[in-house]
Amino acid sequence: MRISIGILAWNEATSIARTIETLLHQTLFSAANDCIESIEVVCVPNGCTDATAAAAEEAFSRCSGHLDASRIFLRVRELCEGDKANAWNHYIHEFSDPEADYVFLMDADVRLRERDAVHRLLMTLHETPTATVAVPTLIKDIQLRTPSNPWHRLSLWAVDPSKYRAPSLSGALYCARGEALRRIWMPQGLLSEDGFLHGLIATDRLCRAPNPGRIIRAKGVSVVYELSTSVSQILHRDRRMAMGRIMNVLLFRELAASCGKEGVGEVVRRRNEENHEWALSFVRKQARLRGIGIGRAFLLGRIRGRSSALRQGDLLHVLPRALVVGGRIVLDLLIAWVAYGLLVRGRSRGAW
């Protein structure tokens, strides 16, 4: 089998070397495996204003001494435009091995907890022919250390309900069948490219009813992500999530109604070529026409997710947690209103 691993990076000069070093010391790269014909790792810095590309080149050179150069290939492909969806398109359709059987996507600041995490993801998908994507378990960084302040304790107390949900595709790390990804194009300017991809995978590119079994969680594989700790960081993240969810819902409706026999991937590719701002213009127009009601999908999703945490644990923990969750739902209402206003004014680009 042929494997391609893409690292999409934006201003990650301080963390990219650690990520690359951790990745290249995964067992997938050191174990003799006759069924693996080739492995490539492609770092795609996009729109960086720091030395991310140079740091990645240096890390590849420094950390590759133990690798089999006849079957493992490392390179950096830099893009001027800072857009993750655009970087995804370039990686999948231009930079990656066009014959890769399995494709990994990962963020530049991801922390892999297990040395065999990449191999386990690969084998989980390889051994489950009905699935298209395999994902790890996501863990907050503060869950691995003693909370240092009341805000951290409150965050842990509220309990991230994601672990009670079905597997969800996250841009932090996932493994997918290469053939499936090569049939997909991302609209440029997306704020939630992983949510967009999740929707297309679950519905077989909007052709079938959602099937949760197309995305599976690999057992014993976890990645650590940095938790937003300040109020401003949390509000910025949630505002971006709300805007991204609303954009995806509107785009799914439009694409489902217009793709026909052409296929959603081909429709997006063609529209991107005709006008790379088409998705942002469409969302802005729809936001003005539909009003604040377009935020309903985001709110319902957040309420369901937060409410699931209340069904876990004993009464002593559920009652105080209910106060936290209730407050967060009220905050979600305000965030949805702000997100709607930004979309109406065409302020989605640059919301990262």
Range of lowest pLDDT (13-22, 184-193, 226-235, 293-302): 293-302
Domain boundaries for CATH 3.90.550.10 within the chain: 1-227
Report whether CATH 3.30.110.40 matches the domain 1-227: no
Q: Angle at Cα 76 formed by Cα 72 and Cα 77, nearest 5°?
A: 125
pLDDT of residue 350: 47
Q: Is the distance from CB of 282 to CB of 272 less than 8 angstroms?
A: no
The burial of 49, by beta-carbon neighbours within 10 Å (0-12 exposed, 13-18 middle, 19 or more buried), is given as exposed
pTM given for the model: 0.85
pLDDT of residue 162: 47
Q: Is the distance from CB of 324 to CB of 154 less than 8 angstroms?
A: yes
Is pLDDT of 231 > 70?
no
**Both tokens of residue 280?**
């942002």
- Whole-number Å distance between alpha carbons of 24 and 37: 17
Pick the more confident residue, 26 or 343. 26
- The predicted-structure confidence for 237-286, as pLDDT tens digits, reads as follows 777 888 888 889 899 999 998 877 788 999 999 999 999 999 999 988 88
